[in-house]
Amino acid sequence: MNRIKGFCCNYTLSVEPDALKSEGLIPENVEIERLPCTGRLEVSELLDSFTQGVSAVFVVGCQLDKCHNLSGSRRASKRVSQAKKILEELEMDPGLVEMFFADRGETEPVVQAARLMSERTAG
């Protein structure tokens, strides 16, 4: 089964990722890593996930105008755009890396993102 990697900040996902999985909310093939802020994610980490065998990567950060660290999710979204360009250069589908935004403490957008990316790589 395709592996999907998600990165969320502590503010967009305040529950343990495993709890979402045990409740059946996110697919088994999705692995979520929580970070203090998505703004610390580097393009290299997004790309390395693919090299390590992941099929798609997503990042969920705060709404752009409500980021806990002011510009963290904006920075993350720019890095996701950079990663998309690199995937294009490598003749890969740029849709395999995606940025999503969520209100603080709302798990639903994270669940939706995980399901969307899982569907995108299915089949």
Partner 1 sequence: MIIAERKTLKELIGMVDGFNNILILGCRGCVAVCSAGGDKEVSTLASALKLGLSRQGRTIDIDERTLVRQCDPEYIDPLNDDASDYDAVLSMACGVGVNFIADRCPEVNVLPALDTTFYGANLSSGEWKEMCAGCGACVLHLTGGLCPVARCAKSLSNGPCGGSQEGRCEIHPDVACIWQQIYDKLSGLNRSDDMKNIMPMRDWTTAGHGGPRRRIREDLLP
Site residues (CB under 8 A) for partner 1? 42-45, 47-48, 50-51, 82, 86, 89-90, 92
Nearest to partner 1 of 10, 44 (CB atom): 44
> For partner 1, which is the closer residue by CB, 26 or 97?
97
Q: How far is CA 6 from CA 54, 89, 91, in A?
A: 10, 22, 22
What's the one-letter identity of residue 95?
G
> In the complex with partner 1, which residue's Cβ is closer, 25 or 86?
86
> Which residues are within 8 A (CB) of 69 and not within 5 positions of it... i.e. 6 or more apart?
37, 39
Minimum CB distance to partner 1, residue 104 (Å): 28
Contact yes or no for 58/114 (Cβ under 8 A): yes
Among residues 14 and 44, whose Cβ is nearest to partner 1? 44
Q: How far is the CB of 92 from partner 1 (least distance, A)?
A: 7
Query: How many CB atoms neighbour CB 57 within 10 A?
Result: 25
Q: How far is the CB of 47 from partner 1 (least distance, A)?
A: 4
Category of 101 on φ-ψ map: left (φ > 0), alpha (ψ -120 to 50) or beta: beta
